[in-house]
């Protein structure tokens, strides 16, 4: 069986000569960011209603240092200096534990640059956050049954901004924490950090389960030094990213029970954010990459999603009703002022600051690898030949004398045409499915994440704040870093760390 690991050293040898292409993409990224900052400043000066002082980020310009600064620098130096090399030789279980601990240290140190209270303990306590609503939830079933009735703004019992903008699962997390004695801003913030850091485990586990063991090790340091950790600590989106990653990891491992559990986790994720409908693209990609029992895993995963959705419906919350109302609530606020014409492209600049400068060059290599595999298997030619065969099979043979009476069901309309069409489609889809599995997760998963991000961006329901909102997709975009040449990874890791440190020290970010 052909390995789908696609270790970065192999494509690296093939593409080292193209390294200037990576630098060109890096220059395009820098230009996009510079233009987004400049245009954002001009629009803010004209009062255009961006509602983001440091557009394209939802932040304010405030250079500062804190006692988390030296700790963050120390973690960055350790991971850049030794982490990338150690990931190649360490035992797998030890490596995953170390990755999670390093990710926790990185996220905590970045949060503490802003200080204990402002950066961590008090980050989730403002009126717009979930914790504001926790004391008001005295009856969980009643809260679920009446949730949609409180989504719209300008009514006495309207939910606060973040609670109204999400399904009730998001609020439930913090209510449950409070019920088990972990109430308050400190416990909530630490939960975001500790749970959010598990993406550095779930994503590599997914890759390894899909046959990309070398890629799992290559990607791991980039997940540890995630620039988006600035927003993981502390915001609920860190937990959201972790839940999605855990669900996809369960879909990847063997067994129908794991697939059903993964579906249940993703079903709960669907009740954390309406935008996670787009996670379905990633879920299908993971299922397509499974080595065996793809159909059974799909059915089990769907059963898990349906089961969780049914529980929420039985409790009185209907996802589609909530979505319809949240779109109306969205335009009751700042979204009505924020210009789509700016945010539809400036969001991508914000994404670069969350995913890091490695994103563009890594995706470039993913596209090159995907194109190479596509053409190597001759799929475009197969498609043309199959199309011509189907056309020939669908055309009726000429008869010298038309038969009398009603025309029989010929190949154009009858079963013969259907059979011919299915055979022609099979000649295309079977090689295409094989090509999907051949390019492996290091190509398909970043592309699936990119499709999800593009859908979210074009929807107009993600105008600003995507540096944290898109975190669940960012971690899968970074799977593309497995395609980087091994010799360049340390430099890219340094760039990732520098991006996070610059953002956190120059700006006052908002969760």
pLDDT for 151-200, tens place per residue? 999 999 999 999 999 999 999 999 999 999 999 999 999 999 999 999 99
pLDDT of residue 219 exceeding 60, the answer is yes
Please check whether residue 120 is in contact with residue 186, taking contact to mean a CB–CB distance below 8 angstroms: yes
Query: Sorting pLDDT into bands at 50, 70 and 90, what band is 11?
Result: very low
| pTM over the 0.75 mark | yes
Rounded to an integer, the average pLDDT of 220-243 is 96
Alpha helices in 151-228 (DSSP H): 161-164, 168-179, 185-196, 199-209, 213-224
pLDDT at residue 5, rounded to an integer: 46
Question: Which tens digits make up the pLDDT trace of 329-353?
Answer: 999 999 999 999 999 999 999 999 9
From CA 355, how far away is CA 96, in angstroms rounded? 21
pLDDT of residue 420 exceeding 90, the answer is no
- 10 Å CB burial of residue 169 (0-12, 13-18, 19+) is buried
Please, which residues have CB within 8 angstroms of residue 7's CB and are 6 or more apart in sequence? 214, 215, 218, 482
Please check whether residue 227 is in contact with residue 274, taking contact to mean a CB–CB distance below 8 angstroms: no
Please, which residues have CB within 8 angstroms of residue 312's CB and are 6 or more apart in sequence? 144, 167, 168, 169, 271, 318, 319
Residue from 278, 467, 372, 340 nearest 10 by CA:
372
Rounded to an integer, the average pLDDT of 93-102 is 97
Please check whether residue 8 is in contact with residue 486, taking contact to mean a CB–CB distance below 8 angstroms: yes
pLDDT at residue 343, rounded to an integer: 97
Q: Is 59 helix (H, G, I), strand (E, B) or coil?
A: strand
Please check whether residue 43 is in contact with residue 338, taking contact to mean a CB–CB distance below 8 angstroms: no
Which DSSP symbol is given to 121? I
Go through 210-223 and write b for each residue having 16 or more CB atoms within 10 A of its CB, e for each that does not: bbbbbbbbbbbbbb
pLDDT at residue 13, rounded to an integer: 42
Please check whether residue 471 is in contact with residue 228, taking contact to mean a CB–CB distance below 8 angstroms: yes
From CA 21, how far away is CA 362, in angstroms rounded? 11
Please check whether residue 227 is in contact with residue 110, taking contact to mean a CB–CB distance below 8 angstroms: no
Please, which residues have CB within 8 angstroms of residue 389's CB and are 6 or more apart in sequence? 420, 423, 424, 427
Please check whether residue 264 is in contact with residue 304, taking contact to mean a CB–CB distance below 8 angstroms: yes
Residue from 35, 411, 476 nearest 215 by CA:
476
Q: What is the distance of C-alpha 99 from the center of its chain?
A: 19
Please check whether residue 496 is in contact with residue 225, taking contact to mean a CB–CB distance below 8 angstroms: yes
Please check whether residue 411 is in contact with residue 438, taking contact to mean a CB–CB distance below 8 angstroms: no
Rounded to an integer, the average pLDDT of 279-290 is 96
Half-sphere exposure of 282 (CA within 13 A, CB side): 36
What is the helix (H) or strand (E) element at residue 353, kind and residue range? helix 340-355
Question: Which tens digits make up the pLDDT trace of 448-483?
Answer: 999 999 999 999 999 999 999 999 999 999 999 999
pLDDT at residue 9, rounded to an integer: 44
The token duo for 447 is: 């592309």
pLDDT of residue 309 exceeding 90, the answer is yes
From CA 316, how far away is CA 144, in angstroms rounded? 6
Please check whether residue 39 is in contact with residue 346, taking contact to mean a CB–CB distance below 8 angstroms: yes
Residue from 312, 446, 300, 346 nearest 31 by CA:
346
- 10 Å CB burial of residue 320 (0-12, 13-18, 19+) is exposed
Q: What DSSP assignment string belongs to 397-414?
A: PP-SSPPSSSPP--TTTS
Name the more confident of 341 and 377.
341
pLDDT of residue 409 exceeding 90, the answer is no
pLDDT at residue 510, rounded to an integer: 76
């Amino acid at each position: 069986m052909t390995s789908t690991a696609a270790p970065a050293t192999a494509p690296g040898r093939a593409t080292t000569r193209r390294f200037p292409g990576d630098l060109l993409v890096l220059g395009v990224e820098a230009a996009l960011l510079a233009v987004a900052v400049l245009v954002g400043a001009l629009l803010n000066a004209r009062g255009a209603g961006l509602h983001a002082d440091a557009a394209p980020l939802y932040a304010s310009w405030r250079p500062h240092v804190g006692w988390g600064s030296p700790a963050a620098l120390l973690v960055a130096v350790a991971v850049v200096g030794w982490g990338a090399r150690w990931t190649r030789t360490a035992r797998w279980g030890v490596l995953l534990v170390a990755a999670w601990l390093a990710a926790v240290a990185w996220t905590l140190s970045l949060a503490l640059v802003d200080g204990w209270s402002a950066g961590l303990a008090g980050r989730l306590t403002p009126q717009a956050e979930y914790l504001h609503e926790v004391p008001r939830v005295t009856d969980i079933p009643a809260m679920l049954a009446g949730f949609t009735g409180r989504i719209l703004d300008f009514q006495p019992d309207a939910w606060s901004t973040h609670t109204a903008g999400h399904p009730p699962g998001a609020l439930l997390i913090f209510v449950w924490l409070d019920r088990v004695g972990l109430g308050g801003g400190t416990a909530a913030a630490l939960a975001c950090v500790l749970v959010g850091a598990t993406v550095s485990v779930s994503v590599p586990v997914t890759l390894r389960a899909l046959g990309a063991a070398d890629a799992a090790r290559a990607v791991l340091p980039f997940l540890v030094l995630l620039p988006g950790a600035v927003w993981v600590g502390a915001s609920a989106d860190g937990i959201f990213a972790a839940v999605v990653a855990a669900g996809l990891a369960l879909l990847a491992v063997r067994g129908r029970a794991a697939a059903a559990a993964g579906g249940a986790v993703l079903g709960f994720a669907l009740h954390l954010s309406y935008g996670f409908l787009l996670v379905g693209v990633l879920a299908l990609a993971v299922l397509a990459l499974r080595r065996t029992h793809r159909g059974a895993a799909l059915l089990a995963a769907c059963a898990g999603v349906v089961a969780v959705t049914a529980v929420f419906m039985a409790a009185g919350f209907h996802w589609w009703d909530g979505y319809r109302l949240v779109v109306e609530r969205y335009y009751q606020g700042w979204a009505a002022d924020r210009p789509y014409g700016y945010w539809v492209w400036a969001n991508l600049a914000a994404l670069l600051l969350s995913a890091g400068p490695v994103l563009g060059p890594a995706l470039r290599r993913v596209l090159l690898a995907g194109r190479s595999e596509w053409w190597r298997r001759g799929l475009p030619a197969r498609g043309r030949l199959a199309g011509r065969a189907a056309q020939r099979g669908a055309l009726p043979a000429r008869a010298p004398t038309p038969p009398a009476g009603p025309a029989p069901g010929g190949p154009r309309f009858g079963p013969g045409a259907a059979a011919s069409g299915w055979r022609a489609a099979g000649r295309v889809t079977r090689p295409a499915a094989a090509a999907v599995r051949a390019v492996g997760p290091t190509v398909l998963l970043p592309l699936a994440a990119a499709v999800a991000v593009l859908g979210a961006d074009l929807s107009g329901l993600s105008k600003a704040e995507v540096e944290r909102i898109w975190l669940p997709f960012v971690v899968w975009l970074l799977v593309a870093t497995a395609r980087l040449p091994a010799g360049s990874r340390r430099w890219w890791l340094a760039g990732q760390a520098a991006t996070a440190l610059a953002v956190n020290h120059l700006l006052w970010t908002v969760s």
